[in-house]
Structure 1
Amino acid sequence: MSKRRSVFIFVGLAYSLAWMIWLGLRFWGIQLGQSFAQLGTMLAMWTPALAFFILRAMKSADVPLQEYTPSFKNGLRYYLTALWLPTILSLFGAGLYFMIFRNQFSLGFEYLQSMLEATGHFKKSIPLQLVAVSQLFSAMTFAPVFNSLLALGEEIGWRGYLYPVLRERFSLFQTHLLVGLIWSLWHLPINLQGYNYGLLYFGYPWLGVLAMFVFCFSLSILLSWVREKTGSIWASALMHGSINASAGLGLLFQLPSEKVEGMRILGPSPAGFIAGVPLLIFALVILQRERRTTHELRTNL
């Protein structure tokens, strides 16, 4: 089986398996945020890996086994970068967003209180400031590690298989564009249900599709970068888990309102157009450095 055909089969399987879960939940009337929907998303995160393993069973894909094991021989600093960089970029992005929309910023943590009240976990005896600090602490310590166990399912497929196969055929920039496009559209069923941006933003749903592509394109560059630097997809899984843990930190400082819900397309999550600017800039700097390094290597050969 040709590599081109294998890629199409892989993408088709990854989409079909995940979309069956998400559309099935929607068909049964299960909304985002409900426990069954969260469980479904957790299962869907492993569908790219399942698609890859189906290909392996068909003997049409081969990724070295050592990529599945953590390796620190190429530098612990890249694992620390994977652990902390997403939180730093998320906070910078939220800061940029609140510099523009200052009337939405608050240190009263009203949004956090509303979420705790909605879930029945709000206790007046526990200061909201302490809860917010604990959220930040977990995002920079143990939460990315736990999240990486779920993110590994995506990374086996997207960065373990799809990225290196496309890289053999396309340029570095073209490969990141393709992976970002495929990865972002993979999220389409839940994005149309309000995942990340809600349903109230201007230009629904097409602007959300574009915002998700920009976010996935930016993040994919960083995930591929740490994977190549460490030689292990565990590094990209850790960074993926870190962005999942830190993406909502900006919401802690936002005043809740219906108008704010309609502005999620802009931030304060790094998936928004404004709050995602630091992530995009950092990714483009990394991409330019990688392109320069690749060019120099080819020149010296």
Structure 2
Amino acid sequence: MFRSDRKALVAFFVLTYVLSWTIWATALAFQNGLLDWRLPGDPLSYLAVTVAALTITALSAGSKGVKDLFRRMILWRVHVKWYLAALLIPGIPAVVAMVTYAALGGSHDVGALVPASAIVPLLLTQTLLHLLTEELGWRGFALPRLRARFGSLVAGVVLGLLWGAWHIPMFFVAGTRQTYPFLGFVVLIVSISVIMTWIFDRTRGSILIAALFHAAMNTWWAATNLLWGATSLFWIFVVATAATAVVVALVQRRGQEATLLPQAATSAASAY
């Protein structure tokens, strides 16, 4: 149905936005008294990414493309250092931000959101959630095609912007965690996308490792309460995360980009 990856990418993002934003729109209408019912944004808005990824993959790459997606969902045979990278790198800017904030005289309640006993269960449930939803679309479907067209660094930035924009309705829906400055969130999510692209390249397109990184990121954020503490702490954290992404970008520029993406993703970009 789609003659090029460009059309498939556009179709994926349009379908993802339409489905997710329609779900969030019912919540906005409900809270403003325009509807007396609402669709549950959690988990339907996340599952919308899954539906879009599987639908457009089937239409653009057929059963072979769908099988490749599922294969990369369980691609676990990667060097242990990438498991450690996925778990620990999201914590580097978090620790830097907290230390910097404390050195400047700030006081922060680290465990306000998540007790220590809940960290591992949160990490496991978040990994499963993002493996079955967001990462199947962002890193599973979109990133290989964006990378083939633009290269890793630009692909990471473009995906980060689109990923960040996808969250816009959540900043208006009551009861979500999107209560921090939107501009800072965009910088944060683009930086994270650049870092995740680097790891994705080196794990042969493993959606599993991407989901583990996403889960670790959310777990670090929740366990440290960084995004919901003082505004100054939030901005220190944004700067620290952006600095981490700059280091990754410099590594890529030195010619360290991997080329071992799955054959299906590489061949899908042959039209360019």
TM-score, with length taken from structure 2 = 0.77
1:94 match: 98
Partner secondary structure for residue 235 of structure 2: coil
After TM superposition, the structure 1 stretch with the greater mean CA deviation from structure 2, 215-224 or 176-185, is 215-224
Q: 1:169 and 2:173 equivalent?
A: no
Evaluate the alpha carbon distance shift between residue 20 and residue 230 of structure 1 in structure 2; reply closer, same or farther with a 3 A threshold: same
Evaluate the alpha carbon distance shift between residue 292 and residue 44 of structure 1 in structure 2; reply closer, same or farther with a 3 A threshold: same
Evaluate the alpha carbon distance shift between residue 168 and residue 70 of structure 1 in structure 2; reply closer, same or farther with a 3 A threshold: closer
1:289 match: 251
Deviations 1:94-144 (A, max 9, x none): 3323434x344368x6xx3xx7xxxxxxxxxxxxxxx84435xx2xx4422
Q: Note the C-alpha offset of 1:168.
A: 1.5
Evaluate the alpha carbon distance shift between residue 97 and residue 20 of structure 1 in structure 2; reply closer, same or farther with a 3 A threshold: farther
1:56 match: 57
Evaluate the alpha carbon distance shift between residue 147 and residue 106 of structure 1 in structure 2; reply closer, same or farther with a 3 A threshold: closer
Evaluate the alpha carbon distance shift between residue 234 and residue 18 of structure 1 in structure 2; reply closer, same or farther with a 3 A threshold: same
1:66 match: 71
Deviations 1:261-298 (A, max 9, x none): xx2xx43xxxx33212222222221222123225899x
What aligned pairs does 1:1-301 form with structure 2 within 5 A after superposition?
A: 1=2, 2-29=4-31, 40-60=41-61, 62=65, 64=68, 65-72=70-77, 74-100=78-104, 102-105=105-108, 112=112, 132-135=115-118, 138=119, 141-152=120-131, 153-193=133-173, 195-196=176-177, 198=179, 208-231=181-204, 232-251=206-225, 260=230, 263=231, 266-267=232-233, 272-294=234-256
Q: Gaps (5+ residues) in structure 1? A: 31-35, 116-130, 202-207
Percent identity over the alignment is 26
Evaluate the alpha carbon distance shift between residue 284 and residue 41 of structure 1 in structure 2; reply closer, same or farther with a 3 A threshold: farther
**What is the identity, as a one-letter code, of the residue corresponding to 1:90?**
A
Question: Contact 1:156 / 1:233 at 8 angstroms: preserved in 2?
Answer: yes
Counterpart Cα distance in 2 of 1:279 and 1:226: 15
**What is the identity, as a one-letter code, of the residue corresponding to 1:66?**
R
Evaluate the alpha carbon distance shift between residue 104 and residue 23 of structure 1 in structure 2; reply closer, same or farther with a 3 A threshold: farther
Deviations 1:135-175 (A, max 9, x none): 5xx2xx44222101111211111111111111111133321
Structure richer in helix, relative to its length? 2
Q: Gaps (5+ residues) in structure 2? A: 33-37, 260-272
Q: Note the C-alpha offset of 1:84.
A: 2.9
Greater gyration radius: 1
**What is the identity, as a one-letter code, of the residue corresponding to 2:12?**
F
- Paired residues, number: 245
Counterpart Cα distance in 1 of 2:257 and 2:58: 36
Evaluate the alpha carbon distance shift between residue 18 and residue 97 of structure 1 in structure 2; reply closer, same or farther with a 3 A threshold: farther
Output the aligned Cα RMSD.
Answer: 3.0
TM-score, with length taken from structure 1 = 0.71
After TM superposition, the structure 1 stretch with the greater mean CA deviation from structure 2, 1-10 or 181-190, is 1-10
Counterpart Cα distance in 2 of 1:75 and 1:192: 41
Counterpart Cα distance in 2 of 1:9 and 1:132: 41
Evaluate the alpha carbon distance shift between residue 14 and residue 98 of structure 1 in structure 2; reply closer, same or farther with a 3 A threshold: farther
Q: Note the C-alpha offset of 1:226.
A: 2.3
Deviations 1:227-248 (A, max 9, x none): 2222211001011011111203
**What is the identity, as a one-letter code, of the residue corresponding to 1:274?**
I
Question: Contact 2:24 / 2:41 at 8 angstroms: preserved in 1?
Answer: yes
Evaluate the alpha carbon distance shift between residue 275 and residue 47 of structure 1 in structure 2; reply closer, same or farther with a 3 A threshold: same
Evaluate the alpha carbon distance shift between residue 290 and residue 103 of structure 1 in structure 2; reply closer, same or farther with a 3 A threshold: closer
Evaluate the alpha carbon distance shift between residue 7 and residue 174 of structure 1 in structure 2; reply closer, same or farther with a 3 A threshold: same
Counterpart Cα distance in 2 of 1:296 and 1:218: 19
Deviations 1:6-41 (A, max 9, x none): 1111101111111112221222229xxxxx99x523
Counterpart Cα distance in 2 of 1:296 and 1:235: 16
